[in-house]
Amino acid sequence: MTRQKILVFRELPPDQLARLQAEHDVTVANPRVPDQVPAFYASLATAEGMIGSSFQVDAALLASAPHLKVISSVSVGVDNYALAALAERGVMLCHTPGVLTETTADTIFALIMASSRRLVELSNHVREGRWTRNIDTDLFGWDVHGKTLGILGFGRIGQALARRAALGFGMPVLFHNRSAVNVAQDVPDLLGKVASVAMDDLFQRADIIAVVLPLSDATRGLIGAREFALMKPGAIFVNGARGAIVQEPALLHALNHGTLRAAGLDVFATEPLPQNSPLRTHPKVTALPHIGSATHETRYAMAEMATSNLLHALSGKVPLAVFSGQKE
Ligand code: DGY
């Protein structure tokens, strides 16, 4: 098989990099590291395959990669890629669904727990030496078990989250998904424990709302002032999907002047979160640095799957996961 030119644009585990190097000519150049930027752009000119994540691959960048045949993203989300330009050019896009489902659902459930029970705030209370007597009612939390969870987006991660809530915490679960979900067929273990509702109903009826949608033109800015105003007084809002699905000024307004109890956020419109973002230090916000899938096991599984995707695509085999349209 002829060796082809691969551009690796984020760090890969050494054994996965070695798999690529065994078959192809590999350049490693991370465009987020200033002294690697020239090498990144230079190797775009010849790259036939690319593998990486967390970098905007827009139409202009694609225009500088005339030989590109496949991009293998080490992520499930594909919002960093100019999908129309890729389709027009016939460049295949692979991604890593499945292997990160349970880990990401764990993270979102942890944010639900942390926001409701004020875990970070109270841990800081201890750490900073303020635990000098029994805590008072002003520091009490809010039960999670038994609360109604509303899940926006009922794909793999939404369903895994629903399992944790319904089967582990006795929570009634409402969900909204743009395409129909057949609970009896797709998630039989949740039959009778989850109900599909209209989006506005979900906002009005859920105690805790979790966003698990992909970012696309249809979901960008989807949650704004109107949606926050629909939420129950004292509701908790959790975003484990993409920051740009939420209008952050509206979220801030709901926290400062509305009745939102708290927000748990793993994702932000701009990442890393700018130092001057009011969300960074907001007392009602538990903020995480986009760690949905960030465990040793899962990040390794993602890298391995993405490497296989790229090797398969370059050798004319069917990759494990080709992105073929937006699903939740
Ligand atoms: C994903 O896989 O899409 C995660 O959010 C990491 O970017």
pLDDT tens for each residue of 298-318: 999 999 999 999 999 999 999
pLDDT category of residue 328 using cuts at 50, 70 and 90: very low
Task: Establish whether residue 104 lines the binding site of ligand 1, counting it when its CB lies within 6 angstroms of any ligand atom.
Answer: no
Residue 52 in tokens: 């990486």
User: What sign does the dihedral 141-144-150-152 (CA atoms) show?
Assistant: positive
Tell me the two tokens of residue 56. 């905007």
Mean pLDDT computed over 246-260: 97
Q: Is the dihedral of CA 241, 242, 245, 248 positive or negative?
A: positive
Q: Which of 99, 293, 305, 327 to mutate to test the pocket of ligand 1 (most atoms within 8 A of CB)?
A: 293
Cα separation values, 310 from 63, 81, 306, 307, 317, Å: 20, 16, 6, 5, 10
Nearest CA to ligand 1 atom 1: 75
Catalytic residue among 242, 248, 261, 328: 242
Q: Is 242 a catalytic residue?
A: yes
Alpha helices per DSSP H over the chain: 14-23, 37-44, 59-63, 83-89, 101-117, 119-127, 156-163, 169, 183-186, 199-205, 225-230, 248-256, 278-281, 296-314
- Of the listed 88, 271, 280, 297, which one is catalytic? 271
pTM: predicted TM-score of the whole model, two decimal places = 0.95
Buried/exposed 84-122: b ≥16 CB within 10 Å, e otherwise? ebbeebebbbbbbbebbbbbbbbbbbbbbbbbbebeebb
Strand partners, 78: none
Domain map of the chain by residue range? Answer: 5-99+296-314, 101-287
Per CATH, the homologous superfamily of domain 5-99+296-314 is NAD(P)-binding Rossmann-like Domain (3.40.50.720)
- Nearest alpha-carbon partner for 9 in 56, 71, 51: 51
Q: Which of 143, 107, 139 is nearest to 121 (CA)?
A: 139
Confidence of residue 1 (pLDDT cuts 50, 70, 90): confident
Which CATH class name applies to 101-287? alpha beta
Quickly tell me which residue has 């993409």 as its tokens.
242
pLDDT range class, residue 326, cuts 50, 70, 90: low
User: Do 5-99+296-314 and 101-287 show the same overall fold?
Assistant: yes
pLDDT digits 0-9 by tens, 35-88: 999 999 999 999 999 999 999 999 999 999 999 999 999 999 999 999 999 999
**Catalytic residue from among 118, 290, 304, 328:** 290
Residue identifier of the C-alpha nearest atom 6 of ligand 1: 75
User: What are the backbone dihedrals phi and psi of residue 151, each rounded to the nearest 5 degrees, phi first?
Assistant: -110, 120
DSSP 31-92: TTSGGGHHHHHHHHTT-SEEEE-SS-B-HHHHHT-TT--EEEESSS--TTB-HHHHHHHT-E
CA distance 131 to 177: 44
Element at 211 (helix H, strand E): strand 208-211
Report the C-alpha dihedral over residues 18, 19, 20, 23, rounded to 10 degrees: 110
Active site residue 290: yes
- Closest by CA to 262, choosing from 99, 92, 112, 57, is 112
The continuous run of DSSP H or E covering 265 comes out as strand 262-265
